[in-house]
């Protein structure tokens, strides 16, 4: 019950006119970011983070998280109308969304996509409201060994669940850890890996990495493809919306399943992209009209959109309760917490009640505002895409430069951003995942600290990571996640051997 | 842009990927070297500064080795990108490099105006009126939002000093 009281306090915070205004600004900016190529949730939030330095943490997180919701909504618009996924998680939405638009049912597809996004997000927020305080109070008892075990689990699930080759995921992740280690060692106060370069004393800031890897890298990829937008008209009127809403309850089963998939994939840091693909794949296999998938089936829009939005929202649960972000955008928000002087992790629920519950309440409200904004303003957002790329691209590059500069007021960071951009382009082309790299930069110091403190306590014995039931369970779960693909393969081999 | 036709040439995917993998391995070696310098054994205060990154470096080198082996064994004759596509990419990277490199000297605003104008005029072939409108409009809007509204100072050069902004 205490949670309900806290939640109502949260609503009181989120409903202040100033915060409502930030919410609307955030959503609109977010949709624009989601629609534009080269700007996504993670780097969009990273670029705008410096603007929030002077705000109160609660208002800042409300605006930034709303940018995130907006970006999640926005990805669907370009997928359906232009067959261009504005975000990686909306790739699966193009499979049925674009055919629907070609058949003149763009309005239905968009309504279905937005409504499903909303349902997925709402499900995840309710889950966060109920589960996050429990997880946090549980996590308050964690010592350094348990903390390290949680990081271990998070990174192992990346390796086991990502669709990229496991050793590429490991390589990308380790690059991130190495970058995080550069500079002042927080425990001994010693400098390391700087090789005498003064610019590296403070290490690599992950915000610069995010803006470079995702922003500049994405622009370079788009340039290579020589992108030209062509697409149908977007018109949504109330009649279409109501008609689609009448149709949607028939897919409640798909919707519910996608919610669960999304929440699961969001909490384990697999993220929204695999969640949307998995949900689409399962829906295709299970649905009555499964063979029609890919030709413009509304269920094929409902499944990935629900899962993507549920995953994107659920990614905030581990960030709030454990300090382990479930997605790159959640990682940027976590970076924001540090900048505003808050310590992410379970103590937030004890020390910063107003902040946590204000954020959770704003997640309810933000998604309602988001649904209204996208349903009413689709034609405006679609028009942005008609602005040619040769105008959009330099503007985005300049924005990225401004964002990178204003993190530490350093022009060196701007050059670093471009280097990260080229690296991001190469890694992406060679099928290395970027999300684990970014998460490792964010969590590297904390993971190392937990690791070294545990070893310090045990005098160097690795047995500390199996010393009690709790820590061993988490570590074993981590190992299972790490070898998940191997286990799956072995199991299916065993089964085929048994049936043969 | 045409893709998939056999007349198009460019570096093969295999070659570029092997190069990227080797660069990652080299990075791993640098990390190991740096960690050794910082000390990887136990000191009076527990594990020393290089202890953790040393193993990270080992992981990078080892996984790169496996990736290199996988990459070379793979039956992939595809192109990484066509030369024309790479030229497109470089036509953004090089001006952006000049843009960020000139920023400490002439400030962000002047550099942005020149950069946007160059991009739109040479790559987009717009008429000068559109070019100038966007090239000057964007930095002015940026100035108002960042410096006036949110009080975030951006790098300035001699022109801004002269205009006393």
B85 and A195 in contact by Cβ < 8 A? no
- Between CA A367 and CA A32 the distance in angstroms is 16
**Residue A184, H or E segment:** strand A183-184
- Between CA A75 and CA B95 the distance in angstroms is 29
* B104 in contact with chain A, both atoms CB, cutoff 8 A: yes
DSSP label at residue B122: I
Task: State mean pLDDT over B58-72.
Answer: 94
- Between CA A169 and CA B19 the distance in angstroms is 17
Q: Work out the burial of residue A72: count CB atoms within 10 Å of its CB; fewer than 13 is exposed, 13-18 middle, 19 or more buried.
A: buried
SS3 A307: helix
Q: In the beta sheet, which residues pair with residue B12? A: B79
**Residue B42, H or E segment:** strand B42-43
Q: Please state, rounded to an integer, the average pLDDT across all residues of chain A.
A: 86
pLDDT at A164: 81
SS3 A155: helix
A430 and B16 in contact by Cβ < 8 A? yes
A269 falls in which pLDDT band (50, 70, 90)?
low
DSSP label at residue A55: S
Q: In the beta sheet, which residues pair with residue A183? A: A192
Q: Is the pLDDT of residue B76 over 80?
A: no
Q: Over the stretch B106-139, which tens digit does the pLDDT of each residue have?
A: 999 999 999 999 989 888 888 999 999 999 999 9
Q: Is the pLDDT of residue B3 over 50?
A: no
The answer to whether B120 touches B128, Cβ cutoff 8 Å, is no
Task: State mean pLDDT over A208-212.
Answer: 90
Q: Is the pLDDT of residue A231 over 80?
A: no
If you measure CA to CA, which chain B residue comes closest to A391?
A: B120
DSSP label at residue A211: I
pTM for the full predicted model: 0.86
- Between CA A463 and CA A11 the distance in angstroms is 46
Question: Which residues in A lie closer than 8 A to residue B31 (C-beta atoms)?
Answer: 178, 181, 193
Nearest by Cα to A319 from A308, A332, A334 = A334
If you measure CA to CA, which chain A residue comes closest to B32?
A: A193
Nearest to B112 among A175, A391, A398 (CB): A398
Could you tell me the two tokens for A29? 């900016």
Q: Over the stretch A427-465, which tens digit does the pLDDT of each residue have?
A: 989 989 888 898 888 888 888 988 988 888 888 888 888
State the number of CA atoms in the 13 A half-sphere of B55 facing the CB: 9
B46 and A187 in contact by Cβ < 8 A? yes
* B112 in contact with chain A, both atoms CB, cutoff 8 A: yes
Torsion of CA B67, B68, B73, B79, to 10 degrees: 100
pLDDT at A235: 65
Nearest to B49 among A185, A390, A393 (CB): A185
* A118 in contact with chain B, both atoms CB, cutoff 8 A: no
Cα–Cα–Cα angle for B107, B108, B109, rounded to 5 degrees: 100
Question: Which residues in A lie closer than 8 A to residue B123 (C-beta atoms)?
Answer: 390
Percent share of chain B, pLDDT over 90: 48
If you measure CA to CA, which chain A residue comes closest to B30?
A: A193
Question: Which residues in B lie closer than 8 A to residue A421 (C-beta atoms)?
Answer: 93, 96
Q: Is the pLDDT of residue B89 over 50?
A: yes
Residues 1-40 of B with CB under 8 A from A: 1, 16-17, 20-21, 24, 27-28, 31, 34-35, 37-39
DSSP label at residue B126: -
Cα–Cα–Cα angle for A449, A453, A458, rounded to 5 degrees: 150
* A196 in contact with chain B, both atoms CB, cutoff 8 A: no
- Between CA B58 and CA A129 the distance in angstroms is 42
A184 falls in which pLDDT band (50, 70, 90)?
confident
* Phi and psi angles of residue A86, each rounded to the nearest 5 degrees, phi first: -70, -25
Q: Over the stretch B19-46, which tens digit does the pLDDT of each residue have?
A: 999 999 999 999 999 999 888 888 777 7
pLDDT at B5: 42
- Between CA A73 and CA A136 the distance in angstroms is 29
- Between CA A194 and CA B50 the distance in angstroms is 12
* B123 in contact with chain A, both atoms CB, cutoff 8 A: yes
- Between CA A76 and CA A271 the distance in angstroms is 17
* A199 in contact with chain B, both atoms CB, cutoff 8 A: no
Could you tell me the two tokens for A321? 């309760």
Q: Over the stretch A314-352, which tens digit does the pLDDT of each residue have?
A: 988 888 888 888 778 888 888 888 888 888 888 888 888
């Amino acid at each position: 019950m205490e949670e309900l009281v806290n939640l109502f306090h949260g609503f009181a915070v989120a409903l202040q006119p100033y915060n409502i205004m930030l919410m609307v600004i955030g959503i609109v900016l977010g949709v624009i970011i989601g629609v534009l190529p080269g700007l996504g949730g993670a780097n969009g939030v990273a670029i705008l983070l410096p603007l929030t330095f002077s705000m109160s943490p609660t208002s800042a997180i409300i605006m930034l998280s709303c940018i995130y919701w907006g970006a999640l909504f926005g990805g669907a618009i370009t997928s359906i109308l232009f067959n261009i996924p504005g975000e990686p998680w909306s790739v699966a939405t193009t499979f049925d969304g674009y055919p629907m638009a070609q058949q003149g049912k763009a309005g239905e597809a968009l309504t279905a996509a937005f409504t499903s996004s909303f349902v997925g997000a709402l499900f995840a927020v309710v889950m966060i409201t109920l589960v996050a305080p429990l997880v946090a109070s549980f996590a308050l008892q964690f010592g350094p060994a348990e903390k390290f075990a949680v990081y271990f689990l998070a990174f192992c699930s990346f390796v086991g669940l990502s669709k990229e080759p496991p050793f590429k995921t490991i390589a990308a992740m380790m690059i991130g850890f190495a970058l995080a280690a550069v500079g002042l060692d927080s425990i001994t106060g010693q400098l390391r890996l700087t090789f005498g370069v003064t610019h590296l004393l403070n290490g690599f800031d992950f915000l610069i990495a995010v803006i470079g890897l995702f922003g500049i890298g994405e622009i370079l990829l788009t340039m290579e493809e020589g992108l030209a937008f062509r697409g149908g008209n977007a018109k949504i009127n109330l009649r279409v919306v109501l008609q689609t809403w009448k149709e949607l309850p028939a897919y409640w089963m798909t919707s519910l399943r996608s919610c669960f998939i999304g929440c699961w994939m969001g909490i384990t840091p697999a993220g929204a992209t695999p969640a949307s693909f998995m949900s689409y794949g399962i829906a295709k296999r299970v649905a009555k009209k499964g063979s029609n998938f890919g030709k413009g089936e509304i269920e094929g829009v409902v499944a990935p959109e629900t899962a993507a939005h549920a995953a994107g929202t659920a990614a905030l649960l581990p960030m709030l309760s454990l300090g382990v972000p479930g997605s790159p955008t959640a990682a940027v928000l976590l970076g924001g917490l540090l900048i505003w002087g808050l310590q992410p992790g379970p103590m937030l629920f004890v020390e910063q009640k107003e902040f946590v519950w204000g954020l959770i309440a704003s997640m309810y409200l933000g998604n309602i505002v988001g649904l209204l904004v996208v349903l009413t303003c689709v034609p405006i957002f679609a028009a942005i895409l008609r602005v040619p790329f040769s105008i959009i691209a330099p503007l985005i590059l300049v924005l990225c430069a401004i964002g990178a500069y204003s993190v530490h007021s350093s022009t060196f960071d701007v050059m670093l951003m471009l280097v990260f951009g080229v690296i991001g382009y190469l890694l992406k082309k060679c099928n290395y995942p970027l999300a684990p790299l970014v998460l490792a930069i964010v969590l590297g110091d904390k993971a190392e600290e937990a690791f070294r403190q545990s070893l310090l306590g045990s005098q160097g014995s690795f047995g500390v990571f199996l010393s009690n039931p709790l820590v061993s369970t988490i570590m074993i779960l981590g190992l299972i996640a790490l070898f998940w693909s191997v286990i799956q393969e072995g199991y299916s081999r065993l089964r085929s051997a048994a049936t043969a | 842009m045409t893709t998939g036709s056999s007349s198009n040439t460019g570096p093969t995917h295999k070659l570029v990927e092997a190069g990227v993998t080797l660069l990652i391995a080299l990075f791993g070696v640098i990390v190991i070297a740096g960690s050794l310098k910082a000390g990887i054994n136990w000191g009076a205060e527990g594990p020393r500064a290089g202890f953790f990154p040393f193993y990270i470096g080992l992981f990078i080198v080892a996984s790169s080795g496996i990736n290199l082996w996988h990459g070379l064994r793979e039956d992939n004759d595809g192109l990484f990108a066509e030369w024309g596509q790479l030229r497109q990419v470089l036509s953004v990277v090089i001006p952006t490099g000049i843009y960020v490199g000139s920023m400490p000297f002439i400030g962000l605003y002047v550099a942005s105006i020149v950069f946007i104008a160059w991009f739109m005029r040479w790559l987009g072939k717009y008429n000068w009126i559109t070019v100038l409108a966007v090239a000057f409009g964007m930095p002015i809007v940026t100035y108002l939002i960042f410096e006036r509204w949110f009080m975030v100072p951006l790098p300035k050069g001699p022109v801004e000093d002269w205009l006393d902004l």
